[in-house]
Structure 1
Amino acid sequence: MVSHFHKCIFIHIPKTAGTSLWGIVNASQDNNKTDQLLLSFKPDDYKFDPPPPHLRASDYIKYDRIPKELFDSYFKFAFVRNPWDRLVSEYRYRMHAHEYSFKEFLFEHFPKPSWNDEYCHVIPQYDFLHDEKGNLLVDFVGRFETLQEDFFYVCEKLNIKKRVLLHRNKSTSIFNRRDNHPMKMLRSARDKLSINYRRNTFKKFTDYYDAESIDFVAKIYKKDIETFGYKFEDK
């Protein structure tokens, strides 16, 4: 996501509260919609070597989304999240608990490499932010675990009013709905009646794991864990 108004690029790693964060940046532009570029894809984009649904930092240049001189000069930022927590968020977001357990999701239904939305949601965060040589391409990496504090820093860099983040697009649903929306109320009732959902849903992300699944995530997201210093703990 690019804002020419604020001269910034936000690398939106899925499941790191990016929808909430960018909503505030967007709202701070005095409704100057024409100056902001929310990336969308034209049919021609899919003919040859199509870009992924969620652009990595390197993709902005690779797919000519922004001139390199602007990419280099703009303030580039992203947010990362504990990989174990991030995968639970994805599992809940897709509402898989109605169909199978979290462990079955990891070992039997984990997205295969492709440029579809589901796979892009589980790409290692390291790959979103680094080039093939391992160079970090963004100026600031915030953390989901200190989201508000780190977002205030982004606000200062962009010279926008500091605001409290409202968590949109929560992982309890693939839809962004109001609490009193009839469809959300219906889904909530279904959740309460679903034996599978109750059996496969826990309060803490750590409760979704056993030793085998902890190790599964540790291997896939080895670079995330080493680069951003994450451990399997509820913080």
Structure 2
Amino acid sequence: MLLSLKYNFLFVHTAKTGGTSVRDALSPLRFRDPWYPVQFLCSRLSALSGHRLGIKFPRHSKIIAAQEMLPQELFEKLFKFVFVRNPWDLQVSSFHHIRRERPHLMSHVETFEEFIRWKLDPERPYQYHVDTSIDLQSDYVIDLHGKVLVDFIGRYENLHDDFEEACRRIGIRAPELPHKRQATDRGKDYRSYYTDELAALVGERFAPDIELFGYTFDPQ
């Protein structure tokens, strides 16, 4: 999550949706914010305490955390935006990310199908630290009553154009998006990873995202 009081925006960072590039592109704006020294100091103090002080939004905070912690007047006037991704494509990205960055977690997993069945196994102990994309993307943008709180939903599939639109609404010229964490070890078409049964399994697990964001297994 990235908050700018000077430029009046709140970026909600969901995993593996191009958010690292968006965050890095917008982060330099913080240096122009008169509140940045205080934010930086609080961030340092939070880190030194092992984040026991509760004064920092984690990178992948849900928007409801900001709604609860910020004054209502401030929260409501912020331009709040997020980027989301096709759930079937996102899980392929997740598979390659974990295999590349945390291979010890997948010592018992060889294929994508084994990975999905392991990841979505309801009997497996919940392990948020393994991969945040196990969470619903929709949970990052709604309140406790299911109301969408963001003003703009960008899509990974249209990252550059939607980022420019977000910047236009913020009122700034869109900086260049850095290329971050691009996978080079996967096929281009996520659909080739799936059987019909496996696609249905992911579709069932992430049904709220599919409904809210209008995704389909076969792009229209």
TM-score of the superposed pair, with normalisation by structure 1: 0.74
1:90-122 CA distance string (max 9 Å, x none): 111112588521111111244857573334332
Alpha-carbon separation, structure 1, partners of 2:66 and 2:151: 15
| Equivalent residue number for residue 15 of structure 2 | 14
| Equivalent residue number for residue 130 of structure 1 | 142
Aligned partner letter, 2:148: L
Give ranges in structure 1 of 5+ residues lacking alignment: 173-190, 192-200
| Equivalent residue number for residue 116 of structure 2 | 106
| Equivalent residue number for residue 63 of structure 2 | 57
Query: Percent identical across equivalent pairs?
Result: 31
Aligned length: 204
Aligned partner letter, 1:54: H
Alpha-carbon separation, structure 1, partners of 2:150 and 2:23: 16
Matched residue SS, 1:2: strand
Give ranges in structure 2 of 5+ residues lacking alignment: none
Displacement of 1:67 after TM fit? 2.5
Alpha-carbon separation, structure 1, partners of 2:71 and 2:92: 36
Matched residue SS, 1:54: coil
Alpha-carbon separation, structure 2, partners of 1:83 and 1:230: 8
Alpha-carbon separation, structure 1, partners of 2:71 and 2:180: 31
| Equivalent residue number for residue 233 of structure 1 | 218
| Equivalent residue number for residue 25 of structure 2 | 24
Matched residue SS, 2:130: helix
Aligned partner letter, 1:209: Y
- Identify if the C-alpha distance between structure 1 residues 16 and 31 changes in structure 2 by more than 3 Å, giving closer, same or farther: same
- Identify if the C-alpha distance between structure 1 residues 138 and 30 changes in structure 2 by more than 3 Å, giving closer, same or farther: closer
Aligned partner letter, 1:89: S
| Equivalent residue number for residue 77 of structure 2 | 73
Alpha-carbon separation, structure 2, partners of 1:52 and 1:19: 13
1:130–1:136 CA contact under 8 A, matched in 2: yes
Matched residue SS, 1:76: strand
